[in-house]
Amino acid sequence: MASSRATIRSFGWDDLPAVLELWRSAGEGVHLGPSDTPGELRRKWQHDPELFLVAEDDGALVGAVLAGYDGRRGLVYHLAVSPGRRRQGIGRALMAEIERRLASQGCLKSYLLATPQNQEAVDFYRRLGWQVMDMVLMGKELP
């Protein structure tokens, strides 16, 4: 799948340094945590390799999305596009492909998280048909 000269393809382990750099430089929208270490990402990738995608243009990684499916619900964890390549359809293409792949696995509903101050991301996802849900988000770090 191509978008604005970028090709969407499955993530390969050699892509990890570029993906981590992309996520780190994405701005306030991507929050990296303990689940984003190389070891944890390898585990995630081995579990759902088809739900980790990158966008590449002329050998340079310009976008990435990581999602998961537990057999009941999908979750989009991280989506980022290089700042200089935004508004060119790359994020839209990555999301369309990840949604297609989730649906092909039988996923009927998926979630994603966006921080309230990241209005640009909220607006982007709304344009793609995602809806803000009135929920209380709770979490707990496990030892």
> To 10 degrees, the CA torsion angle through 100, 105, 109, 115?
-70
Per the CB < 8 A criterion, the answer to whether 19 and 60 are in contact is no
Task: Specify the pTM.
Answer: 0.89
* pLDDT single digits (tens) 90-124: 999 999 999 999 999 999 999 998 888 888 899 99
Domain over 2-127 is classified CATH 3.40.630.30: yes
User: Cβ distance 55 to 6 under 8 Å?
Assistant: yes
Q: Does pLDDT of 4 surpass 70?
A: no
**Which sequence spans correspond to the domains of the chain?**
2-127
